[in-house]
């Protein structure tokens, strides 16, 4: 009887240890996922000054747009720099999402305006920078998807029974925040097609 009680106690302790270790591993995946997003966002931020310098001569009458891009880039970069712990900084993640959306909108304006400058579209430096930006956007999307998958996995595990009884005691007292953009509802809508 004593061995049976000791074995049951040992199984319970091992199960609790497994819950804790799983929470830690999932938290670390989230932190690593956010680090990957940081790398790609910084890469994009580094490309923008080169793009602005290259198109400046061609787009003299669009200086306000170029300045808005640089300002939005600086704001987004500042918001990214303020996030030290992606698990605990819910407001920082929301702020980054908002600043990133504004930055992407400004960058889209530059790409739209470039259509009016055929010599700019033919410029080899601009083409290379735009290709780099496109590649970086794909990497950001992939990193963001992986991060949100890690967040979902952590949140689902933390909210499940019996983990939900122990998670707060282990210091995992809240869900992690996904990196979502304000226009995510618009993205999910079916585009209107007219023939």
User: What is the residue whose two structure tokens read 């979502």?
Assistant: 180
Number of residues in the chain:
195
Structural domain tally of the chain? 1
- Residue 105, domain member (yes or no): yes
Q: Are 90 and 179 in contact (CB under 8 A)?
A: no
Instruction: Give pLDDT tens digits for 36-90.
Output: 999 999 999 998 888 888 777 777 667 788 888 889 999 999 889 888 877 777 8
In whole angstroms, what is the distance from residue 110 CA to residue 65 CA? 7
Please check whether residue 11 is in contact with residue 90, taking contact to mean a CB–CB distance below 8 angstroms: no
Q: Is residue 18 part of a domain?
A: no
101-147 residue pLDDT tens: 999 888 888 888 777 777 777 778 777 888 888 888 899 999 999 99
Give the Cα separation of 38 and 9 in Å (integer). Answer: 44
Q: Please, is 17 exposed, middle or buried when counting C-beta atoms within 10 Å of its C-beta (0-12, 13-18, 19+)?
A: exposed
Whether 75 maps to a domain, the answer reads: yes
Range of the domain at 153: 31-181
Specify if 155 maps to a domain.
yes
Task: Report the alpha-carbon distance of residue 23 to residue 29 in Å, rounded.
Answer: 10
Distance CA 161, CA 32 (A): 26
> What is the pTM (predicted TM-score) of this model?
0.78
139: its two tokens: 């990497």
Question: Bigger pLDDT: 195 or 54?
Answer: 54
In this structure, is residue 74 part of a structural domain?
yes
Does the residue 158 lie in any domain?
yes
Give yes or no for a contact between 103 and 76, defined as CB atoms under 8 angstroms apart: yes
Q: Is residue 160 part of a domain?
A: yes
Domain assignment present for residue 122? The answer is yes
List pLDDT tens digits, range 145-187: 999 999 999 999 999 999 999 998 998 988 888 887 654 444 4
Candidates 98, 102, 96, 62; CA nearest to 78 is 96
Domain of 83, CATH number, reads 1.20.1440.20
Angle at 38 between CA 54 and CA 44, to 5 degrees: 10
pLDDT beyond 50 at 189: no
pLDDT at 61: 64
């Amino acid at each position: 009887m004593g061995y049976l009680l000791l074995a049951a106690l040992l199984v319970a302790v091992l199960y609790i240890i497994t819950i804790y270790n799983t929470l830690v591993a999932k938290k670390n995946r989230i932190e690593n996922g956010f680090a990957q997003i940081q790398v790609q966002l910084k890469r994009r931020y580094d490309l923008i000054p080169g793009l602005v310098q290259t198109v400046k001569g061609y787009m003299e009458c669009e200086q306000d747009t170029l300045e808005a891009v640089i300002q939005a880039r600086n704001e987004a970069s500042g918001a990214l720099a303020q996030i030290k712990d992606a698990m605990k900084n819910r407001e920082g993640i929301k702020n980054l999402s908002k600043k990133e959306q504004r930055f992407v909108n400004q960058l889209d304006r530059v790409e739209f305006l470039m259509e009016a400058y055929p010599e700019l579209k033919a410029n080899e430096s601009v083409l290379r920078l735009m290709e780099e930006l496109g590649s970086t956007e794909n990497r950001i999307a992939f990193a963001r998807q992986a991060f949100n998958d890690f967040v979902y996995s952590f949140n689902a595990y933390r909210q499940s029974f019996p983990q939900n009884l122990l998670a707060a005691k282990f210091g995992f007292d809240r869900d992690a925040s996904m990196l979502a953009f304000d226009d995510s509802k618009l993205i999910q809508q079916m585009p209107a097609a007219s023939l």
